Amino acid sequence: MLLIPCPWCGPRPENEFRHGGEAHVVRPVDPRCVSDAEWADFLYNRTNPKGIHAERWRHIHGCGRFFNCIRDTVTDRIVTTSK
C-alpha cells in the first residue's frame, strides 16, 4: 500500500485516495470550437509514460481535495505532490 503525501493532511495510506488520471489535461474553454479529432484527443489520448508521470489524486476519504502528484510509474515512488 503506497504512502501518499496529501498536501493538506500529510502522508496517508493509499486506500484513502482515489486516482484522478493524468494531470494537466485541459478541457477546451469552448468545446464547440474544437474539431472532432481535437476533442477525441482530449477525451481519450494520454501520455502513459514509463517513468515520471504527472497525475491527479483525490484524498477522497480524507480532506476531499484533488491535488497533483509526480509519480515514477516504474518504481511507484512518488516524487512530489502539490495543491
Partner 1 sequence: MTQPYRTASGGRILRDRPVHFSFDGKQFVGHQGDTLASALLAHGVHLVGRSFKYHRPRGIMSAGSEEPNALVTIDRGDGRVTPNQRATTVELYDGLTARAQNAWPSVRFDLGAVAGVLSPVLSAGFYYKTFMWPASFWQRVYEPAIRAAAGLGRAPAAPDPDRYLHHYAHCDVLVIGAGPAGLAAAAAATARGDRVILCDEQAEPGGSLLSRPDTRIDGLPASEWIAAALDDRMTVLTRTTAFGWYPDNMIALAERVTDHLARPNANLPRERLWLVRAKRVVIAAGAIERPAVFPGNDRPGIMLADAAATYLHRYGVLPGQRIVVSTSHDSAWRTAFALASAGSSIAAILDRRDAVDPALCEQARAAGIPVHIGTRITGTGGRRRVRFARIDTGPRIIRCDTVLMSDGWTPSVHLFSQSRGKLRFDPGSGTFLPGPSAAPEQSAGACAGIFDLAACLAEGHRAGGGDPRAFVVSGEFRFGTPVPPSPGRPHGKAFVDFQNDVSTKDLAIATGEGFRAIEHVKRYTTAGMATDQGKTANVNALATVAALTGQPIPEIGLTTFRPPYTPVSFGTFAGAARGDLFDPIRRTPIDDQDAVFEDVGNWKRAHYFPRPGETMHQAAARECRAVRDDLGLFDASTLGKIEVVGPDAAEFLNRMYTGDFARLEPGRCKYGLLLGEDGFIRDDGVIARLAPDRFHVTTTTGGAAGVLHQMEDYLQTEFPSSRVWLTSTTEQWAVIALQGPRAADALTPLLDGIDLTTMPHMSVREGQFAGVPTRLFRVSFTGELGFEINLPANYARAAWDLLRETGATRYGTETMHVLRAEKGFIVVGQETDGTVIPDDLGLSRTIARGKPDFVGKRSLSRSDMLRDDRKQLVGLLADVVLEEGAQLTDTGAVSLGHVTSAYHSVALNRPIALALLSGGRSRIGTKLHVPLSSGFVTVTVTDPTFYDPTGERMTQRIIGKPARTGSVAARRERMSQPITGSPARAGTVAAAVGQPALRLVVASYAPPPTPFCDGVNLTLAPTTGKFSIRTRQPIASTLCAATSDGHTALWLGPDEYLVFSDDPPRIAADSIVDVSHRTVGLRVNGPRAAWCLNAFCALDLDTIPETGCTRTLFGKAEIILWRLSESAFHIETARSFAPYIWALLEEARREFLPPPAVC
CA torsion sign for 73, 76, 80, 82 is positive
CB nearer to partner 1: pick between 37 and 48: 37
Number of Cβ within a 10 Å radius of residue 71: 21
Q: Which of 54, 58, 70, 72 binds partner 1 (CB under 8 A)?
A: 58
Q: Which residues pair with 78 in a beta bridge?
A: 71
Question: Cell 515514477, residue?
Answer: 72
Q: Could you say which of 22, 63, 70, 72 contacts partner 1 (CB under 8 A)?
A: 63
Told to check if 73 binds partner 1 by CB under 8 A, we report no
Residue 49 binds partner 1, judged by CB under 8 A: no
